[in-house]
Amino acid sequence: MARTRSRCSPSGTSFAGPNFKRLRELLREPVLFDGRNVWEPNEVRALGFHY
């Protein structure tokens, strides 16, 4: 899976995060568990995930 810059990155940081579009396509149930509160909930929901 190709890695891209994530718009859903923690405030003030930039890192190569998951390709959320591709991840969404691969998951049967688009559930994202963010135990470290890394991604912005509203942005991840807008991408089609249950956050």
Q: What is the mean pLDDT of the chain?
A: 81
Question: CA angle, 22 as apex, 20 and 25 as ends, to 5°?
Answer: 110
Joined together, the tokens standing for residue 19 give: 């390709």
Q: How many CB atoms lie within 10 A of CB 36?
A: 7
Each residue of 5-16: pLDDT tens digit?
455 555 555 666
Q: Please choose, from the candidates 17, 48, 49, the residue with its C-alpha nearest in 3D space to the C-alpha of residue 32.
A: 49
Domain regions of the chain by residue span: 4-46
Q: What is the spatial distance between Cα 30 and Cα 44, in angstroms, rounded to a whole number?
A: 10
Q: What is the spatial distance between Cα 23 and Cα 50, in angstroms, rounded to a whole number?
A: 13
Provide the residue-wise pLDDT of the chain in tens; the chain has 51 residues. Answer: 444 445 555 555 566 688 999 999 999 999 999 999 999 999 999 999 999
